Structure 1
């Protein structure tokens, strides 16, 4: 199978907004409008779907959510699909999507993280479509900090182009209340801290290349061993000389404690998800340690025997800022105690 990159968005292109998992409560509608205005300000049109109800944990019935997402994915007028955010049970959509029809359609950019990873990671692995694990729609109004990009930048990149992002070596503790501050667009990074190497010589410079794949640990781990999470083909996908014949696998925990993280990582390892990993990137997390096991120890307990580079505190999770990663792209990861950089090539 080939990795298929959607064509870059151009001014006037249509962005579809639907909630495959959780919708938007009335109190957060002002923030939604600010986010939609941000997308329009970049020159894009917006179509908001019917599945947006935020009164429960899902925005509509599984049949309605699947039908609306399916329609947006195969509609040639819609060039990107961006949910407001994740949720809890997008897993129920997987068996209700027509994957054959999606595979035959022209690729569309699909963007998001958290429970949205339950959809975009299988979308890449089942159809070859490249997808963007990046800031959700509700976080889009934030101007990205120096060194990072927004998904709005990523989806306009030309095929075979390369983008480079550098860790700002700072992060934000806590969330902004969008009810109280619906128009906030400045992301204050109030804590210092960059990527950390967990394996081997932590002061040695490293440089590794492979194709990107990954997502939220809590929502992806139940798919381990299924057809929805088999990355075997991706490691050998034709590309260019930078492909490397391996994977850069990234994972991030939303709220699971260290014991659950340990079990989930062990499960994915046993299911073969890390078999072709050249490196593992672990997102910064605010999830708790356990009484006798830290989050770092959990990662090393499960993945330390892989014998590959493991970097922690990467900006690819539920702790801001947000580092967009393109599932399927060829990535070059460079890290030293002084700087951390990832370059992604859409090839």
Structure 2
């Protein structure tokens, strides 16, 4: 198989590239050159946001294109239009954020979607991803595969959610653990997403698939206790009720990464119906493997994870955590 990966040097894109190389696929990575590409790929350089940015893709044909773009959907439109007659399938790594917020627990791919981008509207993340889906589908029709991922964790994470928890556990002491302990979580390991995307593309799948683990694949308790164990930490988890956390002005998701209190938002993010993707072969590794491999990857970087420049760092400051614990 011949794969063209648009991106491919960070997190999900890199996971796709490494998985494809491991399969013996012929992999071409198109990127701006800001980060070194994975071993075993051919690199083509360009900036898809500029007028001549796609010139290095003027020639070539591929069985599969994988696109991880999250910005202005015009970039997807331009490259998909350029490649429609020279590529077999177009995989767009989308997001469950394309559903109208908040999606109810149990919703599947038939749920209502956000409005398409307009000429005068704001291009927020959800609108950009929906616009990317539309652009890919307009160019490739039923040859477009839309992988609507949810929370993505694993080695290479450049958002900082799981790396923050691992670093916090390694620091030790009393840790503010957001409860309830048995709160179910739904996410996908970047490597499982990569594996499914390549399998699905090679198998000729098209259309939209919600690509995250089944609800309850792990819990907040299992996740944090595993973080403590793999770091060898003597950290003491102090489980706090959601009401106390919110009363202290602590922000779910951003200051306490991954966590959302029980309710509408939690059900929308951690309670999606992914039966379609599971039936199409999606398999998710145990949380212990994701956590341990992420910690090992962090160790190889000296303990400091990369950070996407377009996103603010996540996590609770030591001062705010101490204040939260003092209130409990």
Question: Which TM class, normalised by the smaller chain length?
Answer: 0.3 to 0.5
State the TM-score, normalizing by the size of structure 1.
Answer: 0.33
| Greater helix content | 2
Question: Greater CA radius of gyration, 1 or 2?
Answer: 2
Q: Structure 2 length as normaliser, TM-score? A: 0.35
